[in-house]
Structure 1
């Protein structure tokens, strides 16, 4: 299936000069969505993840059904103030400032195997921060899964040396 044909391109969003890759058109297509989850699950099955970690918010969209397909649990990594219990947190740098991610302190069991999933990897900052959060929790990072990779931004160079699965490259 040609997933690129299901991803809309929106010029000058969120600011002039940016070509935004909009996955809402992929999500509304039943066959495209099924193919995306099934293909990602097939490519990640051998990684042996105990948990799939998805970052707010589009990582939730793909992470939860992927966890279901892999027979794994799903753990959300959230923006500040969204989780009710005690959290582990990490601050990280964006091209326009700082941000922070949080996960419940009791989300992981030490030594568990984690697959991190998001819709897109661009500069890699959010994925890198999530990987550090997972590793600080005493877990073993087994890989990353992304629907889209923007190769020119070289985000994978910031990530730990584990398998990186992508379905569409630009």
Structure 2
């Protein structure tokens, strides 16, 4: 437990707060310093890997959300020995895609996945940097449901508890390294 606490302390020490960004009243939690620090990045990846291995007997794919899920997802997938799949903003993927519309705090958006990226019955873990209102993760879960994949859980580095995003994606469990 002390080792885990040390890793969490390291990760937390690398999160920078930017008040009033992108608008007044919001504190932006910047994860970029984690990416510059190999020990902090390794701590994130190790904690995610340990959680997944302890909780799930089989994982077939790690699914990363555009764009910061692309940073952590491939590292976790490599450690788990599984593939990595992208959920992108609409219009960014070639070939046949499946999409879903969703609401953001500040408007609407669409997410999509390549039609053949996930096979029915595959067990997937979703990963992103931040859980706020849950709109993006909810959309990704919806895409996985359309593909008839089994969402085992969602992983995030930071969860903003007061926005209740985890409630939106129930019954899928959320594992957050840090909660604000």
SS in 2 for 1:40: helix
Structure 2: segments with no counterpart, 5+ residues? 1-6
The equivalent residue for 2:48 is 40
| Residue of 169, 175, 178 corresponding to 1:159 | 169
Contact persistence 1:92–1:129 (CA under 8 A): yes
The equivalent residue for 2:103 is 93
The equivalent residue for 1:22 is 30
TM-score (norm: length of structure 1): 0.97
Is 2:155 the partner of 1:145?
A: yes
| 1:1-170 pair list within 5 angstroms | 1=7, 2=9, 3-45=11-53, 46-47=55-56, 48-170=58-180
Contact persistence 1:44–1:165 (CA under 8 A): no
Structure 1: segments with no counterpart, 5+ residues? none
CA shift, 1:164, in A, is 1.6
Aligned residues: 170
Superposed CA RMSD in Å reads 0.9
Contact persistence 1:4–1:168 (CA under 8 A): yes
Please list every run of at least 4 consecutive aligned residues from structure 1 whose deviation after the TM superposition is greater than 2 angstroms: none
TM-superposition CA deviations, 1:3-22 (whole Å, max 9, x none) = 21110111111111110000
| In structure 2, distance between residues paired with 1:134 and 1:118 | 15
TM-superposition CA deviations, 1:61-118 (whole Å, max 9, x none) = 0111111111111000011111111000000011222100010000011100010000
| In structure 2, distance between residues paired with 1:114 and 1:5 | 30
| In structure 2, distance between residues paired with 1:104 and 1:160 | 24
CA shift, 1:130, in A, is 0.4
